[in-house]
Amino acid sequence: MPELPEVEVTRLSFADRIHGAEVVSIHMGKPLRWPVGHDVDELQGWRVGAVTRRGKYLWLPLAGPQARQGGLLIHLGMSGSLAFSPRLPLAGAHDHFDMVTTLGTLRLTDPRRFGAVVWGTSLQEGVPAKLLAGLGLEPFDPALSGAYVHARLAGRRVSIKQALLAGDIIVGAGNIYACEALFRAGIDPRLAAGRVSRPRCERLVREVQAVLNQALAMGGSSLKDFKDAHGSQGHFQLSTQVYGREGQPCRVCATPVRRAVQGQRSTFFCPSCQKR
């Protein structure tokens, strides 16, 4: 699943190029996770504003005639990707959204169709507001601190790994990045979230930010088929310390990396470097 770094890399790969474009037409393929909720033919002639991101969602603001405002909230689902180009081939079986503009075509390709394109008058109203309501702080929000995380974890019996994946405290720490951040912070992923001390929460925040920064610099992770809007793959997966390295020696202490299953997701950790 494309996580926050992949979604942000995707945004950066086309946001400047589509900004200011006029919508010529929008073509929908097979149904996605949720209906658009708007007649897309009515968006002809609207202009694209500055594309932003919230969690793993992209927001394409649109300005129409008579000061009308709105936008499309896009989620890449489990296997989706966006492409933007002045010239794209004819839509294939897995291409379910084409927004043709005066500067190029934005296309959502999603083989499993768990992605979505939904309309909203703003991020604070309608379906977008409901989808974003439960999200935690962005990883680089100035309000994010060890004290904040420690307070939000208080009393939680779920493991710290699962608490990170929930996304209601910090968004963006998907499976690969949660494994890596917990390793760097020296925290056993099986530790109950409510037992993580404030000093360890402070270190965890720093390591989540460091891991996500590194992932952004490396174009995200392409574990299967992720590509940005230029068609480029990410390379973070080539530098992981524990993720995907079950049985291989820890890069720090040489202890074999272990794998556990938590919430139906694989967790990779070093039993020597990471403490409960």
Per the annotation, the verdict on 2 as an active-site residue is yes
* Of 2, 128, 139, 189, catalytic: 2
| Cα–Cα dist 156/191, whole Å | 11
Q: How far is CA 198 from the centre of its chain?
A: 26
Q: Is the dihedral of CA 194, 200, 202, 207 positive or negative?
A: negative
| Cα–Cα dist 48/71, whole Å | 8
* Of 47, 113, 198, 265, catalytic: 265
CA neighbours closer than 13 Å in the CB half-sphere of residue 149:
29
Contact 8, 236 (CB under 8 A): no
Per the annotation, the verdict on 130 as an active-site residue is no
* Helix or strand (DSSP H, E) at 207: helix 198-217
* Of 56, 161, 227, 245, catalytic: 56
Name 67's Cβ contacts closer than 8 Å, sequence gap at least 6: none
Q: Which of 177, 208, 226, 171 minimizes the C-alpha distance to 10?
A: 226
Contact 84, 104 (CB under 8 A): yes
Q: Which amino acid is at 68?
A: R
What are the structure tokens assigned to 165, written together?
């994946």
Per the annotation, the verdict on 265 as an active-site residue is yes
State the burial class of residue 252 (Cβ atoms within 10 Å of its Cβ: 0-12, 13-18, 19+).
middle
* Of 3, 6, 8, 207, catalytic: 3
Which residues are marked as active site? 2-3, 56, 265
